Amino acid sequence: MFGRGGAAARMRGRNDGGAQKRRVLVTVCALVVMFSAISLYHGSFFGNRTNKSVVEETFDPTASGWAANLAAGIRGESGRGREVVGADVKAVKDEVEEEVEEKEEVAGEKDAFAEKLEGNDDESGADERTSEDGAPKSFPVCDAQYTENIPCLDLAMNKKLKLKLNHSVMEHYERHCPPSDHRLNCLIPPPPNYKVAIRWPKSRDEVWQSNVPHTFLATEKSDQHWMVVNGQKVNFPGGGTHFPNGADKYISNVAKMLKDPEGNLSMGGKIRTVLDVGCGVASFGAYLLPLDIIAMSLAPNDVHQNQIQFALERGIPATLGVLGTKRQPFPSKSFDLAHCSRCRIEWHQRDGILLLEVDRLLRPGGYFVWSAPPAYREDPEDQQIWKEMTALVTSMCWTVAAHQDQTVIWQKPLTNDCYEQRPEGQAPPLCKATDPDSAWNVPMEACITPLTDEVRTVEPWPKRLLAPSPRLDELRIDDKKYLSDTSIWRRRVEFYWKTLKAANQVEQNSVRNIMDMNANYGGFAAALRDKDLPVWVMNVVPSAGPNTLGIVYDRGFIGSLHNWCEAFSTYPRTYDLLHAWSVFSDIEKENCSIEDLLLEMDRILRPMGIVIIRDKADMVDRVSKYLTALRWSSWHQVVEADKDGLSDGDEKILFARKELWQPEDVL
């Protein structure tokens, strides 16, 4: 059941069949489409601008240089229970092997698709598509099979490049970006009948089926109430494998275990940032929102893929990720609480490397909530797991904060004292060389990230929103600079909002999922919070710049490190608003193409979504020439930015709004 995302286009036409029949067809279709996807994955997504050909015939598998570090054992959430876990891993491997065979069988497909794409290319012709100033007049539309394309998390691409990835450590679910000559250079079309997303807060409980046309989980998880198909909509009753009676009751039970008198997991603002690993459709995260808790819900693009796509379609913060061999793209000490219910991760394996990564991400005194049968069951296998898990967490100096039935809550220490008192040679060792906050393409290590000597806890939420973060010192940023940043962004965001309102470009709750592509200290998100809008912000800190993401987390927001020369780990059409401050200038300094970045922004932007690009005036002028080609011409406006403490007055701001289009409109 791999790669169903890539197979969306084909599946859709056949979804009206019976349930069993559908399963078989889906598998076959997935394999067929996956092969086509592989054979078609050419052209330049981020690369060579002069190569207008979308298809080319050769590639060099050695051109890519990843696929080295191995390690692990996440298995994605499943309701089928732990008993079948081992079998699952094997099944997954078998499927992958089958895939390869199938692909060879359907080799004929490749040429048909290649010709089709080449045909398109010939018709439009590179010369006609490019205007005199070098900006294209139009971009081709990608084939329908790419409606859910995620360039760096594409199993078909891994195959195409013949990457040797260790499945037992989930390496195939980690990021592997296509080399420049294998990038698409076209606009990702929405699926047929795509509709403007249902608005928050209604979207928490229902989404359009046509927007995320995967009802597999509804049948697969029918007994667990993850989701229910209801006419043109898919409903989310709030269930999960571990909480068939609803996430809200489960959450309040966790809070009671931690002795919050009101059963409010926020615990007076002590808990604000949460990491949910193996999050299903993110109902846990959804039901934390009323408690003013924000969760980063994480799941791989796996057998239960599209979980993250559903989460984002619902307006719940989420991102694609897997605990495999590399650190999560988050700094150390970011989360007040981490959660894993039936997430089927074998934490005690591989010297505890995965749990040690969670430990890195937890704040001093942070909690890890683990809900799984070994926490209570009596059978020998579960008891063995429980024993090993207990030994591991004890060696990591975690203590039991509460234990009830299937749920155990451990707490990370506040200081290094316990680590220092461990017997000589006790595993896991303390980490030595690596910067604990460095997390972009950094391999995980089975070691404990030591804490700083001084205990510096963050203020309770919402006080921490504006209070200078304890990490400012570490980064040698003075409080004044931080506070002035906050007030500059307050003014800037005020202006953005006024402009959008004046142009009638924001409707009631039409903006929910926001990405700040260069978040710095999180001032943009903080200003939005002030406005009391029903939005959440994915704060991205570019991997090439100073690593300020810890400050963003310290003030109670979530975000990710990222390199904007590559595609982001999310599905197409997942953000309502993208804010790019200085991102274009910055990536050009790294010799990456602004055209590729524009196509990536278009991929992740929802139809009718808004972009705000703030950059050097000449950069904004260059970017503006692409609006028609990108079909971002629903509305646009360019204004000169006022001089302020972050800008010397040579900046412009481009506002633009993406159209809602279908491939047939573009011909």
Ligand X SMILES: *[C@@H]1O[C@H](CO)[C@@H](O)[C@H](O)[C@H]1NC(C)=O
Q: Note the residues at the interface with ligand X (CB under 6 A).
A: 70-71, 166, 168-169, 264, 266, 268-269, 290-292, 590-591
Q: 556 vs 609, which CB is nearer to ligand X?
A: 556
Q: Which residue in this structure is represented by tokens 């050009």? A: 588
CA 496 to chain centre: 26
Q: 204 vs 214, which CB is nearer to ligand X?
A: 204
Is residue 176 within 8 A of residue 66, CB to CB? The reply is: yes
Q: What is the dihedral of CA 74, 80, 85, 88, to 10 degrees?
A: -90
Shortest reach from residue 266's CB to ligand X, in Å: 4
Q: 274 vs 291, which CB is nearer to ligand X?
A: 291
Q: 294 vs 408, which CB is nearer to ligand X?
A: 294
Shortest reach from residue 463's CB to ligand X, in Å: 11
In the three-class reduction of DSSP (H, G, I as helix; E, B as strand; rest coil), residue 326 is classed as strand
The secondary structure of residue 644, as a DSSP letter, is: B
Shortest reach from residue 271's CB to ligand X, in Å: 9
* List of residues 6+ apart from 489 with CB closer than 8 A: 523, 524, 526, 527
Radius of gyration of the chain (CA): 24
In the three-class reduction of DSSP (H, G, I as helix; E, B as strand; rest coil), residue 337 is classed as strand
Shortest reach from residue 40's CB to ligand X, in Å: 29
Regarding beta strands 513-516 and 558-562, do their DSSP bridges make them parallel or antiparallel, or are they unpaired? unpaired
Q: 261 vs 380, which CB is nearer to ligand X?
A: 261
End-to-end CA distance of the chain: 34
Q: 89 vs 638, which CB is nearer to ligand X?
A: 89
Shortest reach from residue 264's CB to ligand X, in Å: 4
Beta-strand ranges (E) seen in 372-438 are 399-404, 407-411
Shortest reach from residue 182's CB to ligand X, in Å: 20
The secondary structure of residue 600, as a DSSP letter, is: H
Shortest reach from residue 461's CB to ligand X, in Å: 7
Q: 186 vs 565, which CB is nearer to ligand X?
A: 565
Shortest reach from residue 648's CB to ligand X, in Å: 23
Q: 169 vs 303, which CB is nearer to ligand X?
A: 169
Whole-number Å distance between alpha carbons of 110 and 23: 24
Shortest reach from residue 16's CB to ligand X, in Å: 41
Beta-strand ranges (E) seen in 89-217 are 206-208
Whole-number Å distance between alpha carbons of 238 and 226: 6
Q: 267 vs 514, which CB is nearer to ligand X?
A: 267
CA 16, 19, 23 angle in degrees (round to 5)?
Answer: 100
Q: 48 vs 264, which CB is nearer to ligand X?
A: 264
Q: What is the dihedral of CA 371, 376, 382, 388, to 10 degrees?
A: 70
Cβ burial of 618 (10 Å; 0-12, 13-18, 19+) is exposed
Q: 588 vs 621, which CB is nearer to ligand X?
A: 588
Shortest reach from residue 26's CB to ligand X, in Å: 29
Whole-number Å distance between alpha carbons of 374 and 82: 9
The two tokens of residue 438 are: 């460095």
* Residue 383: half-sphere exposure toward Cβ, Cα within 13 Å: 3
Q: 172 vs 360, which CB is nearer to ligand X?
A: 172
Reference 518, options 457, 561, 462, 569; nearest CA is 561
Cβ burial of 502 (10 Å; 0-12, 13-18, 19+) is exposed
Q: 350 vs 603, which CB is nearer to ligand X?
A: 350
Shortest reach from residue 352's CB to ligand X, in Å: 13
Shortest reach from residue 2's CB to ligand X, in Å: 18
Whole-number Å distance between alpha carbons of 619 and 652: 9
Shortest reach from residue 100's CB to ligand X, in Å: 16
Q: Give kind and range of the element (H or E) at residue 362.
A: strand 362-371
Name the strands in the sheet holding 335-341, side by side, starting at the edge strand that comes first in the sequence.
318-320, 294-299, 273-277, 335-341, 362-371, 407-411, 399-404
Q: 148 vs 174, which CB is nearer to ligand X?
A: 174
DSSP assignments along 251-276, one per residue = HHHHHHHTT-TT--TTTTTT--EEEE
Shortest reach from residue 246's CB to ligand X, in Å: 14
